Structure 1
Amino acid sequence: FSEAVHNHPNLVRKYLGSVVPMTDNFFAALNSAVFSDGSFVYIPKGVRCPMELSTYFRINAANTGQFERTLIIADEGSYVSYLEGCTAPMRDENQLHAAVVELIAHKDAEIKYSTIQNWYPGDKDGKGGIFNFVTKRGICLEENSRISWTQVETGSAITWKYPSVILKGDNSKGEFYSVALTNNHQQADTGTKMIHLGKNTSSTIISKGISAGKSQNTYRGQVKIMKNAENARNYSQCDSILIGSECGAHTFPYIDVRNPTAQMEHEASTSNIGEDQLFYCNQRGLSTENAVSLIVNGFCKKVFKELPMEFAVEAQKLMEVSLEGSVG
């Protein structure tokens, strides 16, 4: 990002803060005040990026926070897929991660943004861990543009993030695919916002929450269809699985429709892994822990299939590791 400021100051000046202003929330203000680096991507007109761009974030030093900034601009008719991963060492004290991500898609452009979040979640007694307070937002600025968020959240002691899309251009599309897994004393408050402004816009929300141990997992999503958003469509699916008797799953959908031509579909379910499912798997030679992994991976497949192959394999392994010790 620091190189882009020197080499392309006009681009940075034009787009930085245009989707997430510094006054948006406390953590966006903090990030705007202290960030010094991050990722900057500009895809020129008509260019389809042939490979996935990937970044890796790690908090190494003790007693520090991380405040990176990501700005991705896809010009007319372009395409980019961006992957990010993150980890942190085990420490007894908490550390803060407060990033800001801004995506801008122009006419006929598409941005796919995938995250595997594996910050240190703290120990089994809830000591230590990263506080992950991130602001992510994209805008489909012109017609036929598309933004897709995919996230797999397994780490951090507390997570607060709502990757959002503002559908300003006519016929634009927003997508959100999420798996959030919490174990031990973790808390996750995650979801999305889809704001429909243009005509014939559509959005899809698929959220999968898995709670184990003494954790609390919350989905908080907003779908807003404004007065001039004719023929807007939204499909939302929020499913939760409980593993154990001391965890919790919560769903808070906010639906605000101001146009009578809108089509809204929303479904939500909460269930636990049944004894009969486990018994069935045990009879076929699977251990209870492997059976839980199998059931959870099947539960999450709609989200995993949106990830690039090697990322999806990594995500499945991460889920297995995160669920270790949660059964029995």
Structure 2
Amino acid sequence: MNNSILNKPYKYGFKTDIDSYNISGGLNINTLLKIINELEEPNFIKKFRLEALNKLKFLRQPDWCFFEVPDINYDKISYYSKPINLTDKDVLSKIDQTFEKLGISKEQQENLSNTAIDLVFDSVSISNIIEPFLSKSGIIFIPLFKAIQKYPYLVKKYLGTVVPSNDNFFAALNSAVFSEGSFCYIPKNIKCNFDLSTYFRTNLENFAQFERTLLIAGENTKLTYLEGCTAPMYSESQLHVAIVEIVAKYNSFVKYATIQNWYRGNKLGEGGLYNLTTKRGICFDFAKLEWTQIEVGSSITWKYPSTILKGNNSSSEFYSISLLSGVQEADTGSKMTHIGKNTKSKIVSKTISLNSSLNIYRGLVDIKPSAYKSFNQTECDSLLIGSNALTGTFPYTKVSNSTAIIRQEASISKLDEEFLFLFMQRGIDLKTAVTLLIYGFCYNICEKLPLEFGVEIPLLISLRTEEALG
């Protein structure tokens, strides 16, 4: 099997030619004050940012990853960026054309009758079509900066309660300079029949995306949230440091699904985006949180969506597909912390490594003394395609209650050339055969995705396979 990488362009690597206002000048109090003044933020946000900046001085960038994260020059980064003259018709037209190229035209947004989409361009929200309709049902789904101004009491109550600013280096960094994001609040006894979705698009060179998402599901509620993201191609690497906080109250259900398709750099590993993200949810009594993520982009990924099962009879499931090619590197996984009685968690991870990529699963199941009769099942399966790919699995388990049940299994295998031969004997070419085998390998996760994402996965797998096999 020939593992040379075709020099094909990244489909979403184009840049929108518009003038932007940006805030840079290094990671210091002056930069923070510029952001605060630009957004006219209230005192509690100012205090939150300044405290995070102070905590950042005492934290170090994690050094326990399987790979080394390159040094990041925080003096060269733009921390906030927005188009100049956003009300100008020409500027709006260029932004509309950008999202049309990404497959999200205004017509498509309006035709998606069961989906509410918030489009974020660099540091500003551009469009949220059915926000007024949702508000009639009591559902709040608006950009985070707008929520800070319109619902400060809700933001103040929940911001930083799931991921505190001193949780880790990148959490403190985001808390200090976060730029836009989504806010959702669903009041008690409301079932949201709409899929709420945010699409993040970076544009400016040297701009770092620090979005923050805050989702609150009240008692007896249901919420499905979808996230997508892309970035232009630049020779210099870009930075993405995000935080997602999810609060699932009594008997609520939250489904969080994301496809990460950032620019992953060229075949030599030059450029690409560093994806360094903290995502966490907390479940109260009888609540359920389901994570589904597809990782196909970014040159470096450091991300571990996790759940704190605080309430009795709460549960969480984590489904992940990490498909890497070229010289991409990823250290990802999940963390399940069991605190309440009769709590249940499930982790299913599928990693596919092509060419010279590095794909690491790292997970933690932590059973606290109070977690009587808790249960966890972890499945980690890895597929190697090519002789230079590397994969590894590091499952950690802490059990402090003898009534708990833990089940773990893992497998690493190479693509069976006998299967390829069988396909090719029946007239199916190599690339199609590999695509079908990969899709079959991770089908049980693909079927968990909402329809809007599920139809994209076979195409993404096909594109990655075509790029990786010459």
Superposition TM-score tier, normalisation by shorter sequence: over 0.9
For residue 254 of structure 1, give the secondary structure of its aligned residue in structure 2.
strand
Contact 2:368 2:400 in 1 (8 A): yes
Contact 1:244 1:327 in 2 (8 A): no
| Amino acid paired to 2:189 | G
Task: Indicate the residue corresponding to 1:232 in structure 2.
Answer: 374
Q: What is the distance in 2 between the residues matched to 1:213 and 1:325?
A: 10
Of 231-240 and 84-93, deviating more is 84-93
1:1-328 aligned at under 5 Å gives the runs 1-140=144-283, 142-327=284-469
Shift of 1:127: 1.1
| Amino acid paired to 2:413 | S
Q: What is the distance in 2 between the residues matched to 1:31 and 1:233?
A: 33
| Amino acid paired to 2:346 | T
Shift of 1:161: 0.2
Q: What is the distance in 2 between the residues matched to 1:301 and 1:7?
A: 42
Shift of 1:191: 0.2
Unmatched 5+ stretches in structure 2 = 1-143
Query: Deviation string for 1:64-102 (max 9, x for gaps)?
Result: 100000000000000100000011111111000000000
Q: What is the distance in 2 between the residues matched to 1:33 and 1:121?
A: 26
Shift of 1:241: 0.2
Unmatched 5+ stretches in structure 1 = none
For residue 192 of structure 2, give the secondary structure of its aligned residue in structure 1.
coil
| Amino acid paired to 1:294 | L
Relative to its length, the structure with more strand (as a share) is 1
Q: What is the distance in 1 between the residues matched to 2:462 and 2:434?
A: 9
Shift of 1:16: 0.3
For residue 293 of structure 1, give the secondary structure of its aligned residue in structure 2.
helix
Query: Deviation string for 1:290-322 (max 9, x for gaps)?
Result: 100000000111111110123111122112212
Of 128-137 and 308-317, deviating more is 308-317
For residue 50 of structure 1, give the secondary structure of its aligned residue in structure 2.
strand
Of 307-316 and 54-63, deviating more is 307-316
Larger CA Rg, structure 1 vs 2: 2
Runs of 4+ in 1 over 4 A off after TM superposition: none
Of 130-139 and 283-292, deviating more is 283-292
Query: Deviation string for 1:28-77 (max 9, x for gaps)?
Result: 11111111311000011011111111111111110110000000000000
Task: Indicate the residue corresponding to 2:36 in structure 1.
Answer: none
Relative to its length, the structure with more helix (as a share) is 2
Q: What is the distance in 1 between the residues matched to 2:469 and 2:242?
A: 34
Q: CA RMSD in A?
A: 0.8
Report % sequence identity: 54
Q: What is the distance in 1 between the residues matched to 2:331 and 2:464?
A: 18
